């Protein structure tokens, strides 16, 4: 078994100087086995089309997932003696690490478009249509709190022709959307090109380095000839180029032993099938987390205009599947050519996404870290930007969690909070405060508040999550 502690002890911490200070501190803690200083990691898997409660509740608790159920009080159920929903089959071996949450409201992010809250899903503020982000999102906030070589990595199941996208999902602040890789091959090149044994990729990586060096120097030369206002504008571009170059400096310090976890390039990296490329993205994310290149990853796992032909669902868009499956009666009466109905199609998609999550969690669990393994210090969050249904009212954002962030969260449970506007209803914003608290970066609030709910509870983490 590959032991990160032995590897990290051999890391040359002199390389990179102050540039590497944040990551070196984390690596030294890991090498020393100091559990209190081990890094926390957060992975967000965000799907479109809603995450219906009936598709996540454990067996025997189906009533808690019924449409329009009014939950009047908080209820907690152990998963130990229950089977998970059939689409969670790959998570059964990891059940002790799983937490399922229902009825966290997100009306503070409600917009007129019922198909998704855009940046508001992770930011807890209103984000309509093509508008730029109004503030930071939780993944960016955690990335700033947990610095690494790549502060944040985004992966998107986009078009085969796209290389990079800026989906309306993650943002570092007002007007600052974060980039997502659509091309697994481009992501591989930028993450691991300098470490890869493929000569063509190494040559391309060296060419990129030389180009970045030239661009940084060229921008600095131009700045010297500009007046202060124009110089300030150019500073934004200089910082971007320097950031890219600094990443390569950090990558160059990594020990050759990290290569053991770099995924091999396969047909999935260039496949025209969307699901194949998403599988490649998950492979890359696992390698980046294991290598310590990042502590925060976000997957834009699909979008309404995407297809799942790779899962046998033909050319029907996810939007179309949503219309078929958003109501039990409609779902049962509307069939695909092979007899699959809308609800069955939604189950197929959800199982695929949960299988990818289970695969990632299993890889992390196999890597020793401190007195446990990497999964012990990681939290994977699965949710939909539309909350609980295709045509969202944003009154419920169901969550599936895998991990406990260094033992801070109690796991192996299903938590069903009171429904929206019922006494004791809690918000998605409070969940995000819980994540920040787990990362030792407490705040008094996150995002906007719902004026129809008591203010106090919206400014507190969820105590039920913590040990």
Q: What angle do CA 293, 180, 398 make, to 5 degrees?
A: 95
pTM: 0.83
| C-alpha closest to that of 306 among 314, 315, 318 | 318
What pLDDT is attached to residue 11?
A: 43
Return d(Cα 300, Cα 422) in angstroms, integer: 32
Q: What pLDDT does 324 receive? A: 72
pLDDT value for 209: 54
pLDDT for 337: 60
Q: What are phi and psi of 242, to 5 degrees?
A: -65, -35
Which residues are within 8 A (CB) of 264 and not within 5 positions of it... i.e. 6 or more apart? none
Separation between Cα atoms, residue 297 and residue 285, nearest integer Å = 7
- The segments of the chain whose pLDDT lies below 70 read 1-36, 194-220, 222-259, 325-339
Q: Do the strands 378-384 and 41-47 form a parallel or antiparallel pair, or are they unpaired?
A: parallel
User: pLDDT value at position 36?
Assistant: 66
Identify the H or E element spanning 156: strand 153-156
What does pLDDT average to over the chain?
Answer: 82
For the stretch 272-320, pLDDT in tens is 999 999 999 999 999 999 988 899 999 999 887 888 888 888 888 888 7
User: What pLDDT shows up at residue 326?
Assistant: 54
pLDDT in the model for residue 55:
93
pLDDT of residue 242: 52
pLDDT at 313 (0 to 100): 85
> Which residues lie below 8 Å from residue 209, measured CB to CB, with a gap of 6+?
194, 245, 248
Quick one: the chain helix, strand, coil %, rounded to 5?
Answer: 45, 15, 40
């Amino acid at each position: 078994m590959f032991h990160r502690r032995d590897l990290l002890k051999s890391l040359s911490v002199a390389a990179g100087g102050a540039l590497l200070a944040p990551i070196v501190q984390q690596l030294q803690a890991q090498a020393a086995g100091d559990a209190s200083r081990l890094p926390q990691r957060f992975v967000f898997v965000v799907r479109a089309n809603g995450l219906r409660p009936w598709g996540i509740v454990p067996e025997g608790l189906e009533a808690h997932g019924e449409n329009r159920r009014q939950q009047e009080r908080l209820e907690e159920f152990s998963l130990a003696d229950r089977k998970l929903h059939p689409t969670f089959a790959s998570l059964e071996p990891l059940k002790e690490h799983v937490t399922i949450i229902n009825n966290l409201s997100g009306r503070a992010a409600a917009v007129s478009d019922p198909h998704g809250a855009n940046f508001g899903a992770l930011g807890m503020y209103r984000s309509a249509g093509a508008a730029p982000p109004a503030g930071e999102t939780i993944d960016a906030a955690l990335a700033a709190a947990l610095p690494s070589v790549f502060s944040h990595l985004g992966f998107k199941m986009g078009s085969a022709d796209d290389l990079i996208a800026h989906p309306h999902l993650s943002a570092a602040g007002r007007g600052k959307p974060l980039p997502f890789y659509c091309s697994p091959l481009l992501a591989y090149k930028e993450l691991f090109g300098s470490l890869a044994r493929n000569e063509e990729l190494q040559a391309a990586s060296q060419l990129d380095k030389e180009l970045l060096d030239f661009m940084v120097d060229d921008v600095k030369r131009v700045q010297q000839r500009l007046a202060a206002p124009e110089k300030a504008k150019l500073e934004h571009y200089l910082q971007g180029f320097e950031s890219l170059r600094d990443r390569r400096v950090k990558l160059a310090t990594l020990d050759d032993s990290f290569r053991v976890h770099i995924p091999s390039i396969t047909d999935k990296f260039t496949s025209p099938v969307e699901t194949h490329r998403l599988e490649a993205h998950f492979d890359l994310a696992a390698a980046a987390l294991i290598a310590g290149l990042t502590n925060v990853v976000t997957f834009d796992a699909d979008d309404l205009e995407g297809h799942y032909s790779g899962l046998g669902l033909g050319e029907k868009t996810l939007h179309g599947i949503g219309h078929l499956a958003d109501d039990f009666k409609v779902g049962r009466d509307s069939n695909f050519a092979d007899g699959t109905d809308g609800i069955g199609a939604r189950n197929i998609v959800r199982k695929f996404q949960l299988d990818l999550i289970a695969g990632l969690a299993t890889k992390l669990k196999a890597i020793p870290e401190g007195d446990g393994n990497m999964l012990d210090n990681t939290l994977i969050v699965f949710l939909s930007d539309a909350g609980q249904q295709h045509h969202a009212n944003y009154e419920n954002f169901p969550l599936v969690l895998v991990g406990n962030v260094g033992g801070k969260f109690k796991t192996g449970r299903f938590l069903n909070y009171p429904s929206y506007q019922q006494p004791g209803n809690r918000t998605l914003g409070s969940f995000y405060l819980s994540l920040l608290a787990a990362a030792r970066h407490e705040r008094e609030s996150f995002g906007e508040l719902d004026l129809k709910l008591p203010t106090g509870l919206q400014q507190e983490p969820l105590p039920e999550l913590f040990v």
